[in-house]
Amino acid sequence: MKTKGLVSLFSAALFFGTATLAMAGAYGEPEQPEELPPPPPVVQEAPAPMPPAMGPNYAALGPYLGAGALYAFENFDDDNYSPNYEDMISSISSGYDVGNSWGFNVRAGYRFHPNFSAELLYEDFFEFDVDPYGHVEAWDLMAQAKGYLSTGQVQPYASVGLGVARGEYKDSGFSVRETDFAMRFGGGLDVYITENLYAEVEGAYLLGTGDVDGADVVVVGLGLGYKFSTM
């Protein structure tokens, strides 16, 4: 009996120990995962450089308009006038003085290249006084090509034009009027106040041909222009 009791006691102890180990495995600390390698360091990329700021484009392409005042110095050549100007010549060559004239101009053009433009120019000369009486009125209309020597804020240029010129001598109700081809050679300076608005100073020589041969003038002008930039 004593031996059977010891066996029972030993069996109970073994069962209790096995149950305790099982519970410890179920509710004990979890198994630690394998240690992972540290993540690579984050590399801060340098910011992309900012594009350079674009300044004003004073040579942008596009149409333009201009207007100004002018002063014309007569350079009439009595010996080269057409016979149709006999009445004018008789007055001028008889010792009368011919004065200079104020006037104005208007122009419309298109800048098709940073260094080149084409334009139409109209100039009106109020009157060249023939002292002591009479006067000469004149105008010209030119198709001109302009070449710019620089494209910055200050732009010197040269121009050449071909068109028509008209001169009319008036004296106490009597008049002689002639129209013929003429050429114009000039140069000047455009100074930009803003990217579109500019001031212009110009000098030119107007050379008459045919019926207005010899009715030459030297023109100086000052004006303003505005360019409608498209690119």
* Each residue's pLDDT tens digit, 130-187: 877 788 899 999 999 999 999 999 999 999 999 999 999 888 878 888 999 999 999 9
At 2, give phi and psi (nearest 5°): -65, -40
Q: Is 0.75 topped by the overall pTM?
A: no
Residue pointed to by tokens 């028509």: 164
Go through the domains of the chain in sequence order and give each one's CATH number: 62-227 (2.40.160.20)
* Each residue's pLDDT tens digit, 56-111: 899 999 999 999 999 999 988 754 434 455 445 444 545 567 889 999 999 999 99
Query: For the chain, how long is the longest CA-to-CA vector?
Result: 175
Using CA of residue 210, residue 215, residue 221, residue 224, what is the dihedral sign?
negative
**d(Cα 216, Cα 184) in Å, to the nearest integer?**
10
> Residue 188 pLDDT > 90, yes or no?
yes
Residue pointed to by tokens 């600390």: 29
pLDDT of residue 86: 45
pLDDT top residue among 221 and 213? 221
**d(Cα 227, Cα 1) in Å, to the nearest integer?**
127
**d(Cα 128, Cα 141) in Å, to the nearest integer?**
18
